Structure 1
Amino acid sequence: MDEITSALDPVLVNEVLSIVRDLKSDGMTMVLATHEMGFATQVADEVCFLESGDILERGSAQEVLHNPQDPKTQEFLRRVHQAGRL
């Protein structure tokens, strides 16, 4: 699913994210593209950072989001932290 929360108001965003959490707890495997880093941290078993279709970094959410190795991933996450989104 690609950016399933884009263009939704905050109430609908929360509903959609809740449904995804429920599906995960039911054992469903999903591939999601999202800029919701906090949500990704909560529900992802594995994350990938992509640039122009290439994987820059891949690993557990904890590894990649809190200890990125790729300089572009580091810079992106620095900006996410500055914006208070993670």
Structure 2
Amino acid sequence: MRELARSGMTMVIVTHEMGFAREVADRAIFIHERRILEEGPPAQLFQNPVNERTRAFFASVLHDG
């Protein structure tokens, strides 16, 4: 999948692997209870989420280092 992403192929991937999503995605979407809560470039979404639920989720799963 990484090679396909590098080649520019369009893909829709559902994952709980945040590192992988951050690495290969041009856009990321955070969905909770069947609703899109937030979307944007991975750097923006992961580093500065606007929605409280998104912030809480990332705080629980993302670790620096």
Return the TM-score normalized by structure 1. Answer: 0.70
* Matched-pair identity in %: 42
- Counterpart for residue 42 of structure 1: 23
1:22 aligns with 2:3: yes
Count of residues paired in the alignment: 65
Q: CA shift at 1:85, angstroms?
A: 8.4
1:80 aligns with 2:39: no
Segments of structure 2 that go 5 or more residues without pairing to the other structure are none
- Counterpart for residue 51 of structure 2: 70
Segments of structure 1 that go 5 or more residues without pairing to the other structure are 1-19
* Stretches (4+) displaced over 4 A: none
Return the TM-score normalized by structure 2. Answer: 0.91
More helix by share: 1
More strand by share: 2
